[in-house]
Amino acid sequence: MTDKIGKLDLRVKFFTSLGKYGTIIALAAMILCFGLVLPPFRSIENLQNLLGQLAILSIFAAGMTCPLKMADFDLSIGAIAAITGIVVSKVLIAGYGIPIGIGCGLLTGVVIGLVNGLLVAYVELSAFVCTLATMSVILGGAMAITKGISIWNVPAAFAFIGRGDLFGVPNRFLVMIGLLFLLWFFHAYTPTGRRMEAIGGNPDASQMSGINVAFNRLLGFVLSGFCSAIAGIVLMSAVMSANPTMGSTYLLDAFGACFIGAATVRIGQFHIWGTLVGVLIVVVAINGLIIMMVPGYYTSMIQGVILLLAVVLSSTGRRLLRK
């Protein structure tokens, strides 16, 4: 019996020491390898390129972390980004100023998040099914608005968000850093953030401690919708066009990043900095593969493997710690 406990101890120790930083070590190792072996990887252009790619995925993933913290999935993030991009471009083309355009875009995300949240937290639908459905509805709406044709004639002034830079640092990277800090502060230092953390740990006990669980879950979806809208705006500004499918590729990567995050430092819990580590791993891996000229279909396979690995790491870690 003591042997068994000893073994379990060892396994827990493994996960709490090496396991805790395993993802970070893996990231460092990957950057080191690519940096040494692939000269193009360490070029300034590629670095800028990396930061740019990092930005959009991070914004998506950070938003997704909010409902995930409370064990709610949001599959509609890509669709929200797409519809936001379309709304903003339409408003800009109609001649309204950039602030109004951005405002309308953010409002779109918040409203959709609100709908998701109401359906999941108050009507008590399964988050997975519900956001899958809203995703389809939004995409359908986006198709109807655009008639399936990409919007190209966005006013050139709007490009500063997605393409501009400040002393060589891409503006969108700055947007991302700002948002991440805000979310981190929100989760770590506000009562609402603390309540969300408690709900993630035990929704029943949270309810029995006077926390309005439904409202906080609703808020999680609103945050996710808001972040997705920002991602949509940045993305639209980067490609200077909008179409209904533009956000869809980010969904899987964002999930992967979040689950890698849940296997980082605080095992089994979703948190912003962990998610950032996850995003870095995903982006660096794909970037390296592209530089190595690995054909695109393999990258998709590898993305899937990363997601699987991340889920395995975060859930086994949590299981072990629960014992």
> What's the min distance (Å) between Cβ of 214 and other proteins?
10
Closer by beta carbon to other proteins, 17 or else 192:
192
> What's the min distance (Å) between Cβ of 98 and other proteins?
30
Burial class (CB in 10 A: 0-12, 13-18, 19+), 121: buried
Burial class (CB in 10 A: 0-12, 13-18, 19+), 32: exposed
Query: Any contact of residue 146 with other proteins (CB under 8 A)?
Result: no
Binding to other proteins (CB under 8 A) within 183-202 occurs at: 188-192, 194-195, 197-198, 201-202
Query: Any contact of residue 322 with other proteins (CB under 8 A)?
Result: yes
Residues 129, 252, 102, 244, Cα dihedral to 10°: -80
> What's the min distance (Å) between Cβ of 16 and other proteins?
11
For the record, the structure tokens of 278 come out as: 């996850």
Closer by beta carbon to other proteins, 13 or else 42:
13
Q: Which residue in the set 208, 292, 301, 312 belongs to the binding site for other proteins (CB under 8 A)? A: 208
CA 200 to chain centre: 18
CB atoms inside a 10 Å sphere around CB 47: 12
Distance from C-alpha of 269 to C-alpha of 264, rounded to nearest angstrom: 8
Q: Which residue in the set 95, 99, 168, 210 belongs to the binding site for other proteins (CB under 8 A)? A: 210
Closer by beta carbon to other proteins, 72 or else 197:
197
> What's the min distance (Å) between Cβ of 1 and other proteins?
9
Query: Any contact of residue 207 with other proteins (CB under 8 A)?
Result: yes
Query: Any contact of residue 95 with other proteins (CB under 8 A)?
Result: no
Query: Any contact of residue 2 with other proteins (CB under 8 A)?
Result: yes
262 within 8 A of 314, measured Cβ to Cβ: yes
Query: Any contact of residue 17 with other proteins (CB under 8 A)?
Result: no
Closer by beta carbon to other proteins, 88 or else 211:
211
Q: State the DSSP string of 165-233.
A: EETTEEHHHHHHHHHHHHHHHHHHHSHHHHHHHHHHH-HHHHHTTT--HHHHHHHHHHHHHHHHHHHHH
Query: Any contact of residue 6 with other proteins (CB under 8 A)?
Result: no
Query: Any contact of residue 212 with other proteins (CB under 8 A)?
Result: yes
DSSP letter at 19 equals: I
Distance from C-alpha of 63 to C-alpha of 239, rounded to nearest angstrom: 21
> What's the min distance (Å) between Cβ of 13 and other proteins?
14
Query: Any contact of residue 205 with other proteins (CB under 8 A)?
Result: yes
Query: Which residue stretches of the chain are H helix?
Result: 2-14, 20-37, 44-69, 77-93, 98-117, 127-146, 160-163, 171-189, 191-201, 203-207, 213-239, 250-261, 272-291, 296-322
Binding to other proteins (CB under 8 A) within 249-288 occurs at: 268-269
Query: Any contact of residue 116 with other proteins (CB under 8 A)?
Result: no
Sites of contact with other proteins (CB under 8 A): 2, 188-192, 194-195, 197-198, 201-202, 204-212, 268-269, 321-322
